[in-house]
Amino acid sequence: MEVFLFRHGIAIDRLDPRCPADPDRALTEKGRRRTLAAARGIKSLEICPEMILTSPYQRANETADCVLEAFGFGADRVVVTDALLPEADPDEICDEVELLGVDSVLCCGHAPNLDEVIAYLLGAGRDVTALKKAGFAWLRGLRLDAGGAELVALIPPRALRSLDGSRGA
């Protein structure tokens, strides 16, 4: 089983007076451009997730759209789930992935949830990562429970964008 975690890109600042409610915060233009470049960088790693899971929040959905575009996948590969909300318990996404019955899944979500999922799968008692916006983690394991996985890669967004070879992203 492989689990890929991709934090959403740069979204509208919460302090912006025009900022909508948190679930409706969208990626900025710069955020979308950089997230798409990061998604293309992920594709260059020659992974191929069978399904994409995303939080229902707008910025995570737009991040999943970037993954679809970069990989050339159709929307039928996307499942929206509350198990990727910022405050969700890590075991919720593990249960959801197991129900899918696939061997690889890419999850688009938020902090602190994704860092908590990483810690949970590694069997760490506390967070051991701090994914940046459009940052990526790759975990592999035999089981989706506490301590059931190993960290294969933790890649910051700038490194992902450089794998894409984009200029000015």
DSSP assignments along the chain, one per residue: -EEEEEE---B--TTSTT---GGGPPBPHHHHHHHHHHHHHHHTTT---SEEEE-SSHHHHHHHHHHHHHHT--GGGEEE-GGGSTT--HHHHHHHHHHHT-SEEEEEE-TTHHHHHHHHHHT-SS----PPTT-EEEEEES-SSTT-EEEEEEE-HHHHHHHHT-S--
Contact present, 80 and 56 (Cβ < 8 Å): yes
pLDDT given at position 166: 57
Amino acid of residue 102: V
- The 10 Å Cβ neighbour count of residue 166 is 16
pTM over 0.85: yes
Q: What is the pLDDT of residues 74-111, one digit of tens each?
A: 999 999 999 999 999 999 999 999 999 999 999 999 99
State the Cα–Cα distance between residues 108 and 143, nearest whole angstrom: 20
Residue 169 lies in a domain: no
Domain count, the chain: 1
Question: What range does the domain containing 45 cover?
Answer: 2-164
pLDDT given at position 169: 53
| Environment class of 156 (CB within 10 Å of its CB; exposed 0-12, middle 13-18, buried 19+) | middle
CATH number at residue 126: 3.40.50.1240
**Residue ranges in the chain modelled with pLDDT below 70:** 165-169
Question: Bridge-partner residues for 153, per DSSP?
Answer: 138
Residue 59 lies in a domain: yes
Residue 154 lies in a domain: yes
